[in-house]
Chain A
Amino acid sequence: MNEAPAAAAETPARSWTPRLHRGLFLMILLIGSMGFYILYPLVLILINSFNVATIAEPPVYGLQAWRDAFSDPGIWVSLWNTIKIAIVRNLLVFPLGVLIAWILARTNIPFANGFEFLFWLSFMLPSIAVTFGWMLLLDPNTGLVNTWLKQIPFLNRITFDIYSFWGIIWVHCISGLDTKVILLTPAFRRMDAAMEEASRMSGGSTLKTMFRVTLPVMTPALVVVFLLGVVRLFESFEIELLLGIPWGFYVYSTKILDLARQEPPLVNQAAALGSIVLLLLAIIIPLQQRLIHGRQYTTVTSQFRPKLVDLGMWKFPLMLSILLIVFLAVGVPILSVLGGSFMVRFGFFNLPKTWTLEYWQMALSDPRLLEALENTLIVAGSAALIGPILFSLIAYILVRTRLPGRSILDAICWIPSAIPGVLAGLGLLWMFLGTPIFRPFYGTLFLLMIAFIMGGVTLSTQILKASFIQLGRELEEASRMSGAGFLRTYFKIVLPLMAQTMVLIGVLKFLFAARGASPIILLATSETRTLALLALDQIAAGYRETASITVLLVVLLTTGLALIARSFGLKVGIRAE
């Protein structure tokens, strides 16, 4: 009789401890590897800003890099330019975005859903394509619009120059509106219409209701989207690279690239500039988080279908204006890039032979293009395969287990959302060139995969966490009670139920990897260039026709894929939460 309780007490002890140990081991492994790939590169940026020796040489610590950085006016100008562009862009884009979102969600404008889709399409269009498309039109010498203007009397003295501050702002506005609209339209739609109606019943006109009820009630959502734009201020890269560098206009991200590419490379100064940005982010991000979390209004939607505001006589003018905006953002760039790839000379419609397939034949037999295509498929494909598996494991652990260290893992996964691509790339460059055992990896596609996988951690884990929470614990517990073990439950119940989300993560990873340039521009060599990087090089070298084809391939691999995924019912996109 004495032995039975002792055995009973021992059994749980045996099965408890190893499981906890196994979990702890997994946790340490995840925190270690994620921390290594995400935090360590950032630490390296900070450390090496105090390093005088160049990359891959024994460090000599000193303040020379900082001294040089502070004495070089170009660095301060680039930081100021970054902020200047962000401010002007937000001042122009944000109010317009709010207005369009409100119109699409709360008024009887025709084709509201169609417009929402077009803004989504605009969001999916890589900014290389938008920028290059507008370059073809607004180049001061060869731009199609400028050529036309020269033939019109009285207007022939006007020339639009895209290589200017306002040229950069123009492309930013055209390509930055979509994010605001697709984030805010659902938020406006979710708002309880009774709040506005209560104001009307209290004696407020439509306009008074808009300013005293609708906008204040929407403030939390507006603040979130606005702050998102502020943080993205440091993300901006391709537009300034293509439109700023030709006339010596730098923002911090193109300045870092410029410093790192000089001969000899001024990587330490780049690290100093990167450190300044990291410090700025360290101030801005916590501020942003506090602002977001301080104010949240629960908006309960009533059962009644929200009444749409009747625009009356404004209906069709507003519809045409939005149509024009969407056309400028999506139609114009795609048409001009298409034209660029099929025309003998872009914009010359009066040549004896206007259209040609020659450039396509040339491009498709060009080994450089084929190599870049292969690189893109390998890098984006592996990011799409590895990402969902790794992040679903992390999300599962964060949501479902009570392992110690979850908050650390959560925090690490959150960091990449705040780190601009160029900085992450700079950190990885130091890591791979500065650590002897990693050096052989430099110049391989592995580097680019790491950059893309780690770059999207935050969004992916957030989406997966949300769907694990939604899934509910009971479905798994029912499987455990039916006699399935943890692994069988994970593979037989959890993964099948999560399949759609996993595919979504895979598609998102592929999209971002196929279009992204800033995280890998410092890491890629001429052998490991992806299509996006090849396109940037071709544009910089002035090969407009071949560049058009490369850009079109990037569009096909990103926007095309997103369209296919959407037609299968996948909600590819972003959310404010």
Chain B
Amino acid sequence: MGFLQVRQLRKRFERVTAVDGVDLDIEEGEFFTLLGPSGCGKTTTLRVVAGLEKPDSGEIYLGERCLLSHSQRVFVQPERREMGMVFQSYALWPHMTVFDNVAYPLRLRRVKAPVVRQKVMEALALVGLAGLEGRPAPALSGGQQQRVALARALVFSPRVLLLDEPLSNLDARLREEMRRELKALQRRIRVTVLFVTHDQIEGLSLSDRIGIMNGGKLEQVGCPEEVYYRPATPFARDFLGKTFALGGKVSRPANEGLEVRLDGMACSPLQVAATSLPSARGGAPAAGDEVMVAIRPEQIAIWNSTPAGIPNVVPATLEGVHFLGDRYEYTVSLGSVTRLLIAPASQVLKAGQRVFLELKSEGITLWPRSG
């Protein structure tokens, strides 16, 4: 049983189903991210949790308290949910100073003036804005506005903090900085966070757990490494990063130690760990099944000569070298197919060279051919 529970949430806008049966269980103090492309329903899910949208059906519980239940006809207004929210546009009120913006939630709760002052100052210090409380809100830079919005959402010690793409309006450098600060802040105050983003780096680096959303449905939930290296669906695999994929045929079934022979490749069959199958797909592959072998490009080591005593080595020819500053990108040809590889800048290879690719068996996932 999670701290924030969402059960069978559904929401339609005219003809579009924005959220289609989403279930979430978020632990207290957890940093949970909904990650997906625009239009996947992540923001709608967040807004339903906030109470800003009424879903067509579903239930939401915060601890023991029912916030929303379609069957029990419960709908708690957003102002009674005790959740803080940071909006994409920050939504700072331009007619108020920084202080008044942050003090607003406390004043609505009839907190006494000296306590308001103390808490606002604490919140501003927390986000690194001490000393700016007298400024009018529009007179701040984008990064500063973002911090004010965060302070406003945290000042009344909400039970959950909702973040709706809060970093997307910042420039690249500031975004990285804010990302690190947000993570450190969350670790310090241990607030439960529901974060919505379309940026996989943000999702992977910030979260305790990630829910990958697509077409209104949750595709996979897991910790960042899990969803990255062991994607459960083709969508999760392709959305989270680059994939190096080759066609093959199962030559030995799972119960005998799974092996795959690559199409048109003169090398020994690949050994694959039995856990490499996407969990969503039941049934172990049988010998003779056509499969797709997928691996993240970073999980491939490149050798100049055949390494001795190492399994899963595939010979290839280096076609092109592209220097990207912090790394190299290589085009390699394996028999009749061409693929992209990524390698650290410390390793220098020349175009036209013969290379040997080591596909680390723990990084390999198997997919049916069509995926």
- Taking Cβ atoms with an 8 Å cutoff, the residues of A that contact B are 192, 194-195, 197-205, 208, 212-213, 216-217, 219, 297-304, 307
Contact = CB atoms under 8 A, between A and B. Distances in A.
Interface in B271-308: none
A505 to B, nearest CB: 34
Given A201-B50, A208-B108, A195 B93 contact: yes
Contact of B138 (A197, A204, A205, A297): A297
Interface in B20-65: 43, 47, 50-53
A217 B95 CA distance: 6
The 10 closest A-B pairs by CB, nearest first: A194-B91, A202-B105, A297-B94, A198-B91, A194-B87, A216-B95, A200-B78, A201-B85, A203-B108, A302-B89
B77 A200 contact: yes
Interface string B66-99: 0000000000011111011101111111111000
A123 B104 CA distance: 40
A205 B94 CA distance: 19
12 contacts: A192-B89, A194-B90, A195-B93, A198-B87, A198-B93, A201-B79, A201-B153, A203-B109, A216-B95, A217-B93, A303-B88, A307-B47
A201 B93 CA distance: 13
A291 to B, nearest CB: 15
Contact of A203 (B52, B149, B156): B156
A402 to B, nearest CB: 32
B94 A298 contact: yes
Contacts of A201: 50, 52, 78-79, 81, 83-85, 153, 162
Given A194-B87, A298-B138, 11 more contacts: A192-B89, A197-B91, A198-B87, A199-B104, A200-B51, A201-B52, A203-B109, A219-B95, A297-B95, A302-B87, A302-B91
B152 interface: yes
A202 B95 contact: no
A297 B139 CA distance: 11
A382 to B, nearest CB: 46
Contact of B105 (A203, A205, A298, A299): A203
B11 to A, nearest CB: 12
Contacts of B95: 216-217, 219, 297
Contacts of B80: 203
Contacts of A212: 104
B152 A198 contact: yes
B224 to A, nearest CB: 26
Contact of B53 (A195, A205, A300, A307): A307
Given A204-B108, A298-B94, A197 B78 contact: yes
Contacts of A208: 108
Which has the most chain A C-beta neighbours within 10 Å: B47, B53, B79, B156?
B79
Contacts of A192: 89, 91
| Most central of B47, B52, B83, B89 by chain A CB within 10 Å | B89
Given A192-B91, A217-B94, A297-B138, A204 B79 contact: yes
B87 A197 contact: yes
A302 B166 CA distance: 12
Among B52, B91, B92, B109, which residue has the most Cβ atoms of chain A within 10 A?
Answer: B91
A212 to B, nearest CB: 8
B89 A205 contact: no
Contacts of A301: 89
B65 to A, nearest CB: 16
A195 B52 contact: no
Given A197-B78, A307-B52, A202 B91 contact: no
Contacts of B153: 201
Contacts of A213: 93
Contacts of A205: 77, 79
Contact of A202 (B53, B94, B104): B104
Nearest to A295: B95
A330 to B, nearest CB: 31
A304 B43 contact: yes
A575 to B, nearest CB: 21
Which of A204, A217, A302 is the most central at the interface, judged by chain B CB atoms within 10 Å of its CB? A302
B85 A198 contact: yes
B79 A203 contact: yes
Contacts of A216: 93, 95-96
B93 A194 contact: no
Contacts of B104: 199, 202, 204, 212
Nearest to B13: A305
Contacts of A195: 91-93
Contacts of B149: 198
* Best-buried of B90, B149, B153 by chain A (most CB within 10 Å): B90
